[in-house]
Chain A
Amino acid sequence: MKKLIHLFAALAMVFSIPLAAQEEAPQREPGHYNNNRFKQLYEEFSTPNTYRSASGAPGPDYYQQRADYKMDITLDDKNARIYGEETITYTNNSPDNLEFLWVQLDQNVRAKDSKSPLRNGEGVNLAYTAGNFAQSFMGEPFDGGFNIEWVKEGSRDLPYTINQTMMRVDLANPLLSGQSYSFSIKWWYNIPDHTVNRARSGYEYFVEDGNRAYVIAQFFPRMAVYSDVEGWQNHQFWGSGEFALPFGDYEVNITVPEDHVLDATGELQNRKQVFSKEMMKRYERAKKSYDEPVMIVTQEEAEAAEKGFAEKTKTWKFIARNVRDYGFATSRKFIWDMMSVKIANRDVMAVSLYPKEGNPLWEEWSTRAVASTLKSYSKYTFDYPYHKAISVHAKNQGMEYPMICWNYGRPNKDGTYSDRTKFGMMSVIIHEVGHNFFPMIVNSDERQWGWMDEGLDTFMQYLAEQEFGEAYPAAIEGLDKYPSRRGAPSAIVPYMAGDQSYIAPIMSNPENVYQLGPNAYAKPATALNILRETVMGRELFDHAFKTYAQRWMFKHPTPEDFFRTMEDASAVDLDWFWRSWFYTTDYVDIGVGEVKSYYVSNEPTPEMKEYMAANGLTEADLPPLVYLADLNAEDVDPNLTAAAPSETSTTLKEFMMDNMTEAERTKVKEPKYFYEISFEKPGGIPMPLIVEYTYEDGSSETVTYPPEIWRKNDAEVKRVISSDKKLTGIVVDPKAETADVDTANNSWPKKEEGSEFDALKAQIKG
């Protein structure tokens, strides 16, 4: 019996069963499901299958459809219209037979009868600018949208049904698994002025010279995606959710006025016909210029061309292989420069097109930013596989297509510009060129998951911006690093600490979130940055991220494929991370609570005595024990607190005599100070507990407890620290790595937080 008592007492000590557990049981509580934040993600994830493996890689039966296009496009510059005739060859690699095909008509979002403007409520504004008023109440709606002249298979008309931005083409016989089908569409539409109501493509009109600069995209009927996860992705295009597109080859002939300068997705097939001899010479030079852009069309030449308005036309012929979309830019206002960039052993051309309104900013930085971006992204993902990347300057635009993107950043009329304009321009170029990797090549479904390309791209943008600043110190003159807006953990705090009624989880459709910027761009980018820097470490993260990019390049990944791969390639269990950062609107708030000091005692402490009395034990019932007594209790013997533990605890001394040699005993470091520290977690997200301990001699050490420390108690954990030096300070998350929304509880002793107000005030005065 006595032995049993010993055993029980010892167990109680070892597991430090709280005294409260001995009290009478309260009323019985009901049971519950597994609400643990470390619970497996089995309910959120779809079950792996032969299309998509549990590892996050494409499965043995993975398939994707293919759409090849042959298109003849004509631009009517005078009337701002575009005409096209296209033949689509659609290959059904799925195991299913398809009774009909869905084709996307994105331009219909601008049609007179578009439902897009009607899906939202509106109220009367307090005031309107005259332009806004006229547009709202007096204007004719823009006559946009596709005019479909016919849909044919060979010479036979095909029946079709248009539902807003989606067109169903009905087939006489189902398209069988493994077979291809060719059909043609003839169409035209009025090109919108993209500066008026922020279309993603269209023209900008320059009053001074009467010219237009066109950036043309979503301009042709495009095949929808048919996949193992969505069937047909025919969710309407409302404006926010971008695109889901299959890969294919494009043969495109574009006819424009002969004095236009044009570039587009794909390799130019008739360069000698559309280039002047001088341009050819310059182009050859650009192929060998790796550190300076070469002008193909100079500003002088562009300004001369502005006065033209040629009646004759020229046809530019392109072939693009394995792309998911097509875009082009054309104007007689364009200045054109190019520079080679080495990616692995291949030469890729970095290209910029801009009207003179973009200078002097654009000639200086656009092409350099393109080149630097390709290098940075290639390093972390895969070598950029296309032969060129183009950055086009278009007012207020920031949109991406394969090999080509539109970017804002316009100096004042006198050529001056602020740092905000400059860094805004560089950042948007890096971001949009980066989209070549996500989603143009790692082809996620943007219509469904905005964050999969925007979040990953914004994360990569942060790395690429920092590397751009290092490669071009002149670009960040006066600063020690590139002023990235997004990525740093502290930058996401105001959003995550915000009003919960206006926050949606990252795993939401882009049409249904309140603030798309923080939701699909900044928060996932920050989460990945924290994952890389703090949770996984760079080595494990970079390998896993690269694995994801390479597994899914030229394929269609889902969120689970990303989540699973990151775990598969790193052996880091991240279910808790995905759950809290991506599936909830939880935030991080971890702090330090009570700190208790202890000293070693030979006598049972009052708490121990209480425990013994409650369990009917006497000291004789217990084995020899060492006690840690509360240093702040009454009647503490100062002699005990200053002494080494082996001097105050006979039990410990005996143990050391019995178990250690003399040499070991002299060498052993006996801690004198003992602390029990409570860490509290008011925030929902479990994160690594990063603690900096500072001692009286000024030394400090940082201990990182893994996030799993919260797995059994989500609100509070305690740790015991022993030291031969007195502990003088504790700081949780000392380097602000975790996006902690409230740092008032991060220090012990509680730091009087220097007033941010006074700091800002001093900064302004200084």
Chain B
Amino acid sequence: MKTWILFLITLFSLTSLRPLDHKFYLSVTQMEFDADKNRITAISRVFVDDLEETLRQRYDVHLALGTDREDAMASFYISRYVEQKLIVEMNNHPLKFTFAGFTYQNDQIVLLSEFSVIPSDEYEIKVTNALIADAYSEQQNLVHFRMNQKKQSEVLTKERPFFVVAL
């Protein structure tokens, strides 16, 4: 945690006051247990340039995300990547992942993921989110998990990329 704060400060010191820049590595994922439809949905907002750079390092591709020249393979690589980094386990079994698409909001890319829930009497849910952390060790992934009208928020790091839902 402390390193993260220090890192943030480091970043600020190096960056100019460019008003439209982000100066920190952070994503926000809103997850929701939707009991009616037996699914868990996830909306992840990640900075486009962070994802672009991560996929470049990982797959050696230049996808030009969010530009007029976006690579036709973008969806393939994004889906493949998210499936490996955003994982939900229920009662010790990983849930089936479906990538439901992506869109852009300003300088962020919005990633939609769905996990199929097998109805059960008891749920022990473990969420792992290691998006971007393979390229930027300082990445912080904030996850809000909603279930039964309650919310649990966790900040996940490369060192501790998962949590168990306690709602």
Contacts and interface: CB of A to CB of B under 8 A. Distances in A.
Interface of A: 116-117, 119-123, 125-127, 197-200, 238-240, 242, 396-399, 408, 412, 416-418, 420-421, 424, 427-428, 431, 450, 454, 458, 483, 485, 494, 498-499, 502, 511, 514-517, 521, 744, 755-758, 760-761, 763-765
Dominant secondary structure of chain B at its interface with chain A: mixed
Contacts of B6: 120-122
Interface string B1-23: 01101111110111111111111
Contacts of A499: 142, 153, 155
Nearest to B41: A757
Contacts of A756: 30, 43
Contacts, number: 136
Given A418-B66, A756-B43, 17 more contacts: A116-B13, A120-B10, A121-B10, A122-B10, A123-B3, A198-B15, A200-B17, A240-B12, A428-B18, A499-B153, A515-B8, A515-B23, A517-B23, A521-B19, A755-B34, A757-B32, A765-B101
25 contacts: A116-B13, A126-B135, A197-B14, A198-B15, A199-B16, A200-B16, A239-B13, A397-B18, A398-B17, A399-B17, A418-B67, A420-B67, A420-B106, A427-B20, A454-B19, A514-B5, A515-B8, A515-B24, A516-B17, A517-B21, A517-B23, A756-B30, A757-B114, A761-B112, A764-B101
B14 to A, nearest CB: 6
A454 B41 CA distance: 37
Contact of A120 (B9, B106, B114, B158): B9
Contacts of A424: 20
Given A239-B14, A499-B142, A755-B41, A494 B28 contact: yes
A421 B64 CA distance: 13
B97 interface: no
B20 A125 contact: no
Given A494-B28, A499-B142, A765-B101, A416 B69 contact: yes
Contacts of B124: none
A240 B17 contact: yes
Contact of A485 (B106, B114, B142): B106
B136 interface: yes
A755 B15 CA distance: 38
B134 A760 contact: no
Contacts of B30: 756
Contacts of A516: 12, 17, 23
B149 to A, nearest CB: 8
Contacts of B3: 121, 123
Contacts of B55: none
B102 interface: yes
A416 B32 CA distance: 40
Contact of A123 (B7, B16, B21): B7
B137 interface: yes
Nearest to B67: A418
Contacts of B32: 755, 757
Given A416-B68, A764-B103, A126 B12 contact: no
Nearest to B10: A120
